[in-house]
Amino acid sequence: MCEKCKAIADEQNALFEEMDANELVKMLGIVRGTEDVSIFERLFTVLNFNSTFEEPTQVVALAHHFGVHYLAEKELADKLQATLDMVSETQRTDDTNKSEAIIASKDREIAGLKS
């Protein structure tokens, strides 16, 4: 990436970090037409969107920015799920071992009573 492009990307990322993600998502929903708002609020939001994102590449940069954060969160969630699965499996193994020990103990007790 050239220095100029990197500087632009850094500037855009800084802008996206300053903006509230919930507001951005709501703005995109209103512009897209999936939010139930009045026509005036939609018009105002479209104008605000247009002034916030002056170039189409900025919208692509926003999508990339959200995508990077999504993938980082997904990786973290996958690691947490793997940890939970591992702990759960260990607990199930311990429970199985305890059950087997109890059954063996009861079998010995029954065998002792029979003799």
Question: Which one, of 62, 4, 8, 67, lies nearest residue 31 by Cα?
Answer: 62
What is the mean pLDDT of the segment spanning 80-106? 77
Cα–Cα distance, 115 to 109 (Å, whole number): 10
- Name the one residue in this structure whose structure tokens are 């009861």: 106
pLDDT of 115 reads: 65
Cα–Cα distance, 74 to 22 (Å, whole number): 18
What is the mean pLDDT of the segment spanning 44-55? 87
Q: Which residue has the higher pLDDT, 88 or 73?
A: 73
Q: Does the global pTM surpass 0.85?
A: no
Domain range for 96 is 3-114
Please tell me the total count of domains within the chain: 1
Cα–Cα distance, 96 to 89 (Å, whole number): 10
| Confidence grade of residue 38 (pLDDT, cut at 50, 70, 90) | very high
What is the mean pLDDT of the segment spanning 40-67? 87
What is the mean pLDDT of the segment spanning 73-94? 84
